[in-house]
Amino acid sequence: MSQTAISPTRAQDFPEWYQQIIRAADLAENSEVRGCMVIKPWGYGLWENIQRQLDRLFKETGHKNAYFPLFIPLSYLEKEAAHVEGFAKECAVVTHHRLEAGPDGKLRPAPSALLAEPLVVRPTSETIIGAAYARWVQSYRDLPILINQWANVVRWEMRPRLFLRTAEFLWQEGHTAHETEQEAIAETEKMLGVYEAFVREHLAIPVLTGEKTANERFPGAVSTLCIEAMVQDRKAIQAGTSHFLGQNFAKASGIEFTGRDGVKQHAWTTSWGVSTRLIGTLLMAHSDDDGVVLPPRVAPTQIVILPVTPKPETRDAVLAAAHQLAADLRAQRAWDERLTVDVDTRDLPGGTKNWEWIKKGVPLRVEIGPRDLEKGTVAVARRDAGVKEKSFPTMAEFTAGAVGLLEEIQAGLLAKATAFRDAHMVRIDSADDFRAFFADKAAAESADKAAGGFALVHWAGTGDDENRLREELKVTIRCVPFGDEFAEEGPCFLTGQPSHRRVVFAKSY
Amino acid sequence: MSQTAISPTRAQDFPEWYQQIIRAADLAENSEVRGCMVIKPWGYGLWENIQRQLDRLFKETGHKNAYFPLFIPLSYLEKEAAHVEGFAKECAVVTHHRLEAGPDGKLRPAPSALLAEPLVVRPTSETIIGAAYARWVQSYRDLPILINQWANVVRWEMRPRLFLRTAEFLWQEGHTAHETEQEAIAETEKMLGVYEAFVREHLAIPVLTGEKTANERFPGAVSTLCIEAMVQDRKAIQAGTSHFLGQNFAKASGIEFTGRDGVKQHAWTTSWGVSTRLIGTLLMAHSDDDGVVLPPRVAPTQIVILPVTPKPETRDAVLAAAHQLAADLRAQRAWDERLTVDVDTRDLPGGTKNWEWIKKGVPLRVEIGPRDLEKGTVAVARRDAGVKEKSFPTMAEFTAGAVGLLEEIQAGLLAKATAFRDAHMVRIDSADDFRAFFADKAAAESADKAAGGFALVHWAGTGDDENRLREELKVTIRCVPFGDEFAEEGPCFLTGQPSHRRVVFAKSY
């Protein structure tokens, strides 16, 4: 038997390890529909927590939810020239609205039900929402519009990977319209701040905030802001984006209003989104060779209680104690929500159940057996500690300390991920060092093996230079990061031209 | 000016009145995409409350949420013979996965990206979920599976009507698999009970529970149970269904397990769903000629505070009092959730704001002005009372009584809807009376004008008889209702054959 629950380990084969932890935790699986995943209850429980917590942050910042059509008329995509280039490529196209039995008796799209205009399954909703805003906005009094949508979107993917890149995924997309440019820019920045804080405080992942270069910008945006996380193979994951769209989409969709000055003008719009990709990010950021490790704040179950019932005569007492403990814990709140506690009473061997919960990443596992009852103690194991490490507090001590323990685990995961990120974020000043950083032996062996990490370099190259580096080393500029610590004068490592700020190059998902 | 806020009134033109209350309350609108609606924030707020409250009931009955693909391969639909008849008709068919510029420069589905097998946008998910369950189930130990999905579905509709019948709609679909027939039947009945209680207690609508006849059964089901509501034009709305699917879908999808007896067998499955149609039902059940009337339990805002600030010198004090009152109210809970309170500080005439909230259906409106401050009172108006009726409690009295007032309004709406339904549910025993009940003058003038109500009749006719009555009178058997009060012996009103239970005929949406 291997020494870890997951094989291969992260060091042996990171991409395969990722597939295996998802399978072992029963989070999701591929469906027979190419690129589309089935999100199983444990994975969907994560998404529900992310969704509920983010939704609260959106509402606290004045946004309301609404829902817009799944289908976008083909002609809408053509309205914004840059947008069509980016999104009219790989998408699902609805061409018929009826099926019928063909000459061979098999079902087929009915030729008589060919749509006059094909419909595209939304890859993103700027154009269909823009059409609605154009109807809703006449005067500056109708602004701002601050709306968010929780929805599924489809972008045909040739190389899908569970949670990180799937043909259909779940996300939220905020779409706002404003009277002035400044207000729209402020909104774009505010929502990036919401994302940064959410990912740090709820998912325990530190992210860089910054702006994308023109090469990586959202098609149709004036500027794209992003949060970039580093995961354990030192690759970057773009975990969220917030776009300042200028008047581009307002002009394309006709969102016009009469201003305070009586003059007709176009609104300024933004859009911002995060998706089920956040789940992939947190899995790659925290999990280990025994399986998934979940931040307590978003874990579907924070504490699992495992009753140990070897003898029939003590079974009832043990189960009663387990349920009482669960009730006492559920009466408490962490992060303003009730603790989530499961009692696993399934008739399976204790070791089997214990390993199942380890692989699922539950933050705290608590065993209660007949001897514990006698002593009034419980055996507590933390998922963020070694698999065999346990402590033995009294039941009262554990109950009183549970919230603190969860907070400690949450903080510990963030500290660990931050230390890892910082250890692999390196200032690099020459092209040779840059190539060495990214082109190490492991990377040469497999495109999927990560090398380097985040290279902080001075940059004054062109988009073509970026393309060449992507070709050669599979690296891209993840962002031009915000923050004083990146504001330095220096020569571009590639061109020698002056630069005022370091940018972040990395391999990425 | 008309005497009511909505024109036409219910009596004048019910279908048009329905469109107008939706518009006046800013709930939803038609999009340019045929049959697809935009659900605006006020309408979506209703859906969020319905969703959250129902979701809690599903979880309390042991269900977990998951998510399955939007697309269903064409061949899946063909697996269940009855199902394909019912659902392979009007649906959105994806045939291509890429767009490209055609010879004329316009976007078109790329001929090179024709899918080998077309994909259908899910009209319902029995087949795609069945394929997953077939992978997950091997042994009786893997059962039951108790899963629910919140999702969008698409059924091409030729005559869409906001909320009641749209091409795309939002819903939940529960899909469960069981070891035994009895267990699956018990689940089907249990979830019907959840729906009945939810619609009664949360939406304040009494519903009949019962079983559909073969004519109205879900395609592929062994039996379809339903809840049927009566709205104010005395038509029926099927507000939710719960299907016992027998082993039909398990056989079609291959959900097989080894039983306790070691024998391989097919699972027994169920499915059950409610949709945004619930919103249409509650709008038609409670609203009046001044607009929407919302049951407090699901209203996005339960109480709106309207500060009256005629003079600049008292403005700050009035606003402070309004916000303090809101805070005091929000600290309280009704139905285990915090009261939802808005303070409408918009710079608009008081009458404009007041009418807006009337039309939106907010249960309680509270005015605070300078004179109220002096007296320590507020002016309270209930949406379920006359538009001009007000009471003038002290602020403390109002705060202390607010939860009780909301409960009283909720109970009052249910009582009123129940009295209306009971007044229009009539025992009928002859074909002449039946025709007279449904074919009154108003009905003859317009197919949309309702006549009659629920006709409780003895029935022993055939499916063809049902079809003929539908043709002639536009009525169908809504259900064979459960409950002792419908168990009577008597001759079928049409055929004279003996019957043991009355059934419900009605016109319906």
The region of weakest confidence among A82-86, A168-172, A308-312, A454-458 is A82-86
Contact B253, B134 (CB under 8 A): yes
Q: Does domain A303-406 have CATH number 3.40.1280.10?
A: no
- What pLDDT is stored for residue B364 in this prediction? 98
Find all residues with CB under 8 Å of A79, minimum gap 6, and list them.
A127, A252, A253
Amino acid identity for residue A146 in this structure: L
Interface contact flag, A31 B98, Cβ < 8 Å: no
- Dist CA B216 CA B20 (whole Å): 31
- Dist CA B275 CA B309 (whole Å): 42
**Residue in chain B nearest A43 by alpha carbon:** B66
Interface contact flag, A31 B152, Cβ < 8 Å: no
- Dist CA B341 CA A195 (whole Å): 27
- What pLDDT is stored for residue A442 in this prediction? 52
- What pLDDT is stored for residue B448 in this prediction? 46
What is the pLDDT averaged over residues B163-177? 97
CB count in 10 Å sphere of residue B197: 13
Count contacts between A and B (CB, < 8 Å): 179
* Helices of type H across B97-141: 126-136
Amino acid identity for residue B11 in this structure: A
Which token pair is A314? Answer: 């003590």
Q: Is the pLDDT of residue B371 over 80?
A: yes
- What pLDDT is stored for residue B157 in this prediction? 82
Q: Is the pLDDT of residue B312 over 70?
A: yes
Q: Residues of B with CB below 8 A from A38's CB?
A: 66-69, 132
- What pLDDT is stored for residue A444 in this prediction? 47
Q: B92 to chain A nearest CA, in Å?
A: 5
Which token pair is A311? Answer: 């003898």
Contact A58, A50 (CB under 8 A): no
Nearest to B343 by CA among B378, B376, B391, B371: B378
Contact B95, B141 (CB under 8 A): no
- CA dihedral of A235, A240, A245, A250, whole degrees rounded to 10: 140
User: B82 forms bridges with which residues in the sheet?
Assistant: none
- Dist CA B154 CA A121 (whole Å): 12
Q: A185 to chain B nearest CA, in Å?
A: 23
Axis-axis angle for helices A14-25, A41-60 (nearest 10): 100
Q: A41 to chain B nearest CA, in Å?
A: 5
Find all residues with CB under 8 Å of B30, minimum gap 6, and list them.
B36, B37, B38, B160, B162
CB count in 10 Å sphere of residue A236: 25
Q: Give the 3-state secondary structure of residue A51.
A: helix
- CA dihedral of B375, B380, B385, B387, whole degrees rounded to 10: 90
Cis omega (within 30 of 0) on the bond before B8?
Answer: yes
Q: How confident is the model at residue B234 (pLDDT cuts 50, 70, 90)?
A: very high
Q: How confident is the model at residue B441 (pLDDT cuts 50, 70, 90)?
A: low
- Dist CA A466 CA B486 (whole Å): 76
Nearest to B482 by CA among B282, B238, B214, B193: B193
- What pLDDT is stored for residue A448 in this prediction? 46
User: B28 forms bridges with which residues in the sheet?
Assistant: B39
Q: How far is CA A400 from CA A338, A366, A395, in A?
A: 14, 14, 9
Interface contact flag, B121 A151, Cβ < 8 Å: no
- What pLDDT is stored for residue B86 in this prediction? 76
What is the pLDDT averaged over residues B361-367? 98
Q: How confident is the model at residue A421 (pLDDT cuts 50, 70, 90)?
A: very high
Q: Residues of A with CB below 8 A from B51's CB?
A: none
Kindly state the DSSP code that residue B323 receives in the 8-state scheme: H
Q: Is the pLDDT of residue B1 over 50?
A: no
Interface contact flag, A147 B41, Cβ < 8 Å: yes
Q: Residues of B with CB below 8 A from A92's CB?
A: 71, 94, 96-97, 119
- Dist CA B211 CA B220 (whole Å): 15
What is the pLDDT averaged over residues B112-135? 96
- What pLDDT is stored for residue B77 in this prediction? 87
Amino acid identity for residue A103 in this structure: P
* Average confidence score pLDDT of chain A: 94
Interface contact flag, B89 A99, Cβ < 8 Å: yes
Q: How confident is the model at residue A440 (pLDDT cuts 50, 70, 90)?
A: low
- What pLDDT is stored for residue B444 in this prediction? 47
Q: B131 to chain A nearest CA, in Å?
A: 9
Q: Is the pLDDT of residue B44 over 70?
A: yes
Task: Give the burial string for A336-345 (b: 16+ CB within 10 Å, else e).
Answer: eeebbbebbe
Q: B308 to chain A nearest CA, in Å?
A: 20
Interface contact flag, A67 B97, Cβ < 8 Å: no
Superfamily of the domain at B14-286 = Bira Bifunctional Protein; Domain 2 (3.30.930.10)
- What pLDDT is stored for residue B375 in this prediction? 93
Instruction: Give me the sheet containing B303-307, strands edge to edge.
Output: B341-343, B303-307, B364-368, B379-382
Contact B305, B342 (CB under 8 A): yes
A interface mutation test: which of B23, B93, B152 has the most A CBs within 10 A?
B93
Q: How confident is the model at residue A478 (pLDDT cuts 50, 70, 90)?
A: very high
Contact B380, B365 (CB under 8 A): yes
pLDDT digits over B378-405, tens only?
999 999 998 889 999 999 999 999 999 9
Nearest to A10 by CA among A274, A206, A289: A289
**Residue in chain B nearest A111 by alpha carbon:** B93
Total count of residues recorded for chain B:
509
| Angle (CA) A352 A357 A362, round 5° | 165
Q: Is the pLDDT of residue A88 over 80?
A: no
Q: Is the pLDDT of residue B87 over 80?
A: no
Q: A343 to chain B nearest CA, in Å?
A: 14
Q: How confident is the model at residue B440 (pLDDT cuts 50, 70, 90)?
A: low
Nearest to B6 by CA among B30, B27, B23: B23
Q: How far is CA A46 from CA A43, A163, A362, B290, in A?
A: 5, 12, 11, 43
Contact B120, B74 (CB under 8 A): yes
Strand (E) or helix (H) holding B308: none
User: What is the C-alpha radius of gyration for chain B, rounded to an integer number of angstroms?
Assistant: 26
Q: How confident is the model at residue B473 (pLDDT cuts 50, 70, 90)?
A: very high
Interface contact flag, B78 A47, Cβ < 8 Å: no
- What pLDDT is stored for residue A499 in this prediction? 97
Domain topology for A14-70+129-286: BirA Bifunctional Protein; domain 2 (3.30.930)
Cis omega (within 30 of 0) on the bond before A8?
Answer: yes
pLDDT digits over A445-476, tens only?
544 444 689 999 999 999 999 999 999 999 99
Q: How far is CA A172 from CA A67, A136, A192, A270, A273, in A?
A: 11, 21, 14, 14, 5
- What pLDDT is stored for residue B442 in this prediction? 53
- Dist CA B112 CA B98 (whole Å): 8
Nearest to B67 by CA among A270, A197, A150, A323: A150
* Structural domain spans, chain A: 14-70+129-286, 303-406, 425-506
Interface contact flag, A69 B29, Cβ < 8 Å: no
What is the pLDDT averaged over residues A195-221? 96
- Dist CA B282 CA A446 (whole Å): 59
Find all residues with CB under 8 Å of A250, minimum gap 6, and list them.
A130, A177, A256, A266, A267, A268, A269
SS (H, E, C) B56-103: HHHHHCCCEECECCCEEEHHHHCCCHHHHHHHCCCCCEEEECCEEECC
* Average confidence score pLDDT of chain B: 94
Q: What percent of chain A has pLDDT over 70?
A: 97
Q: How far is CA B402 from CA B201, B296, B411, in A?
A: 19, 11, 14
pLDDT digits over A349-386, tens only?
999 999 999 999 999 999 999 999 999 999 999 999 98
CATH dotted code for A425-506: 3.30.110.30
Among B36, B38, B95, the residue with its CB nearest the CB of A109 is: B95
**Residue in chain B nearest A155 by alpha carbon:** B97
Higher pLDDT, B158 or B205: B205
Amino acid identity for residue A102 in this structure: G
Can you spell out the DSSP letters for B149-160? EEEEEE---SS-
- What pLDDT is stored for residue B447 in this prediction? 45
Strands B341-343 and B268-275: unpaired
Q: How far is CA A285 from CA A199, A200, A212, in A?
A: 11, 12, 22
- What pLDDT is stored for residue A1 in this prediction? 44
pLDDT digits over B8-21, tens only?
999 999 999 999 99
